Structure 1
Amino acid sequence: MSKNENDGLETERSPFGPVAQDPISRRQLLKRAALGGAALSTPALLAACGGDDDGEPEAGGGGGGAAKSDLTFYSVTHGESGNPFWAIYRNGIRDAQKVYGVEIKDLPLEEFGVAQYVDLFNQAVAAKPDGIMATILDQNALDQPMREAIESGIPIIAVNVPDVRPLDQRIPYLFYVGGDEEAGGRLTAQRQLAEGDVKHAVCIIHEPGHTGLEARCRGYDAELSGAGAKVDKLPSSKDATQATEQIKGYLTENSDVDAIFGVGPQPATFALQALDELGKKGQIPVSAYDMTSELLDEIEAGNLISTIDQQQYLQTFEPANWLKLHIQHGFVLAPGVDLLTGPALVDKSNFEKVRQGVEDGFR
């Protein structure tokens, strides 16, 4: 464990990689963002530091954020508006607009589909924004439209899901802000192996073909296969009832399964429900990906081994700052360098440290 003398935060590492840190309040985060943002004026710094933890200005503090700029960015994601994971991402939009003084228009994909997502991206490009932050849902389908947008002068930052091809082949966006999905899958497998030998595992994926989710399964498979395990991939519905029945059927036919990985809160929750209905909850190690209060409750109860925190709040809060800095001052990162917000392992050893951040809408 080490302590950063500048901010007092303690950082930990486990045998499985980085673990989540103690949460900070909304006021502290806005203050740090303001102090670190070269594009912010002194009034903006004071304003960003002036709000209390629930987002309301303090008495006499003159709340508000950075001076309003003329910059308009679009956030184009595959995250439907009712999804709790993406609600945290959109909290980052809310706060970024206040701190950086920009406007961010949110275009979520309400029904999963690659063609629909490409149409959504093209809709953003047609609006001629100053910049775009977008998930690379399918790198092949998005290659041409994104290259054309970049050539037209619209800077793009990839968020949440990158183009996973080699640097010389990938879409030339500025850089990527998000988690390393394959590493997250490997980290999950390592944590399960720490519970004991795994002979037959299953990776449950609720959006087959999703680049990021497939990478999670790929990392999980690679790590467990290297340890001699058989790994299946089970596509599931996003409907709770249908998915639970699918998983129950699979587990009935594969009674030797001794490890389960749900690549998001939904499939992990469906798997726990299926095990409960089969009378096996708590008997088979189950791991999840991403953070919800319900998943932390399952970790506390001993029904869930682990989950992964990818800090999706930062996946929009940081791109807003960088797009502004890039446009106003030409700032860029070195070629091939990305801003990784995860993975960080959350299990019974540290889940209490991040619970407050989940409840406050940061994680």
Structure 2
Amino acid sequence: MMTFKGWILAATALATTALTATLPDAAMAQDGEKLRFVVVSHIGSNDPNMNWLTMAMEEFGKKYPDVEAEYISTNNYSIQEHVRLLEQAIATRPDGIAVPVVSPDAFEGPLRRAIDSGIPVVAFNIADGRPESERIPYVTYVGGDELLTGRKLGEYALSQVEAGVVPAPTRVVCASHDSAHEGLKKRCAGMREVMEAAGAKFDELFIGAEPATARNTLQSYLSANTDTNYIFTVAGWSAPWAWGVANEMGLSPDVDMEGVTVLTVDEGPVSIEGVRQGHVLATNSQGFWLQGYAPLEWLYWNVKHGYAPQQDILTGPIIITKENADKWSDLVRSVFGEEAYNQQNTW
């Protein structure tokens, strides 16, 4: 694998306006055959994390010119649409598929059929969280551990309570935009474990992905649960919504010893700037660049050489705090570019 510094220097900007991104044509392999891998994702061009994935795929294409890799997604996400895209991809008989297992129940049928037909599958970003004997028999999983993400962010918050930076949690709400998303549910579950063990009450709240609806839902919840002093948004782009509602309600949501404390996820500009500006206590990186590169490499090694790793490959979480947020800002600006970074900062 490339070094951390190496992939930063190698990554270049890709357009994210198209919902399907195909890597540039490359030279044919020596045997005259070109493998075709398809990434069927729930992360569309309206999500800054797509930048990480498609840039990593471009770098993969430079190292493996005998592979054509396609990225397929939609901005109007639903599990049904994701399954439809997956089934369409399987019907084209690719040499390998990389896919987040957003819903094991919904994805089990098509993925097992693909695997039974000889198409290797690598899960990325979201694993099948069931016991190994029950889960979809993909080659491996590459991505973060979302239960661990919730735990580590919760543990960091409690360390800051002990340091006198933020107040002790009394009631914590985990605000989610997708009630069926296994990864988001695990983030909430990890946070719940830590916060309930610390004596706090905990609720999960479905807010949806539409800003006005999400804000109204959060306002109603905070009005009805006045002891709430922590909000955990399981998407980075919803953190400004939560902060804005709490601020309008006079709940002092900045990082201090008063009012509400906000936690969020991912290394997107909005999450990093939230930390840098003191609106968000902490966020995390789940290693999105590796999630775009490593699944394709494992598919290649599996097809070409029969390799399969003996365990899942975790790319995160790494906690981003006030102490390291400046470095993360520099990193993401170098990858996304100054203009794109600023556009995605919605504070």
From 263, 273, 292, the counterpart of 1:316? 292
Alignment deviations for residues 334-363 of structure 1 (CA, whole Å, 9 cap, x no partner): 1xx011110110011111222122112379
Aligned counterpart, 2:281: 305
Matched, 1:74 2:38: yes
Q: Given the alignment of the two structures, is residue 99 of structure 1 paired with residue 99 of structure 2, yes or no?
A: no
- Whichever residue aligns with residue 84 of structure 1, its letter is P
Provide the secondary structure at the position in 2 that maps to 1:169: coil
Structure-1 residue corresponding to 2:164 = none
> Residue in 2 aligned with 1:84?
48
Is 2:80 the partner of 1:115?
yes
Q: Select between 290-299 and 142-151 the one with higher mean Cα deviation.
A: 290-299
> How far apart are 1:27 and its partner, in Å?
6.1
Q: Which residue of 1 aligns with 2:187?
A: 216
Q: Secondary structure at the match of 1:361?
A: helix
Partner of 2:5: 24
List gaps (5 residues or longer) in structure 1: 1-6, 10-22, 31-52, 57-63
Pairing partner for 2:238 from 250, 257, 267: 267
**Contact persistence 1:182–1:218 (CA under 8 A):** yes
Question: TM-score, length-normalised on structure 2?
Answer: 0.84
- The answer to whether the aligner puts 1:203 opposite 2:174 as a matched pair is yes
Q: Which moved more, 1:96-105 or 1:135-144?
A: 96-105
TM-superposition CA deviations, 1:132-172 (whole Å, max 9, x none): 00010110111121111001110000010000000011000
Secondary structure of 2:260's counterpart equals coil
Q: Which residue of 2 aligns with 1:293?
A: 269
Q: Distance in 1 between matches of 2:213 and 2:8?
A: 42
CA contact (8 A) 2:301 2:307 kept: yes
**1:187 Cα deviation from its structure 2 partner:** 0.7
Deviations 1:271-309 (A, max 9, x none): 112122223231321110102223222212222100010
Structure 2 counterparts to residues 1-363 of structure 1, below 5 A: 24-26=5-7, 54=12, 67-69=27-29, 70-101=34-65, 102-196=67-161, 197-279=168-250, 280-282=252-254, 283-334=259-310, 337-361=311-335
Asked if the contact 1:308/1:345 (under 8 Å) is kept, the reply is: yes
AA matched with 2:324 = N
Distance 1:111 1:67, change over 3 A: same
- Whole-angstrom distance in 1 between the partners of 2:127 and 2:13: 31
Which whole-Å deviations, capped at 9, do the CAs of 1:187-216 have from their partners, x for residues lacking one?
111112223221210000011110101110
Gaps of 5+ in 2: 15-23, 162-167, 342-347
Aligned pair count? 311
- Secondary structure of residue in 1 paired with 2:5: coil
| Amino acid paired to 1:357 | L
Q: Does the aligned pair in 2 maintain the 1:204–1:234 contact within 8 Å? A: yes
Deviation, structure 1 residue 66: 7.5
| TM-fit CA distance, 1:25 | 5.0
Deviating runs (4+, > 3 A) in structure 1? 25-28, 53-56, 64-69
SS of structure 2 residue aligned to 1:261: strand
Partner Cα separation in structure 1 for residue 291 and residue 81 of structure 2: 22
Structure 2 residue aligned with 1:43:
none
* Residue identity opposite 1:130 in structure 2: D
Alpha-carbon distance in structure 2 between the residues aligned to 1:252 and 1:24: 47
Tell me the secondary structure at the aligned position of residue 83 of structure 1.
coil
> C-alpha displacement at 1:55, in angstroms?
7.5
Give 1:322 deviation, angstroms.
1.4
Structure 1 SS opposite 2:288: coil
Distance in 2 between residues matched to 1:25 and 1:299, nearest whole Å? 26
Code of the aligned partner of 1:281: P
Contact 1:66–1:99 at 8 Å: present in 2 too? no
**Under a length normalisation based on structure 1, what TM-score does the superposition of the two structures give?**
0.80
Conserved 8 A contact 1:26-1:55: no
State the one-letter code of the partner of 2:335. G
Partner deviation per Cα, 1:89-137 (whole Å, 9 max, x = no partner):
2222222222222211111033222222211111010010000000101
CA contact (8 A) 2:13 2:335 kept: no
Identity within the alignment, %: 31
* Distance (Å, rounded) in 1 between the aligned partners of 2:144 and 2:266: 11
Aligned to 2:228, what secondary structure does the other structure show? coil
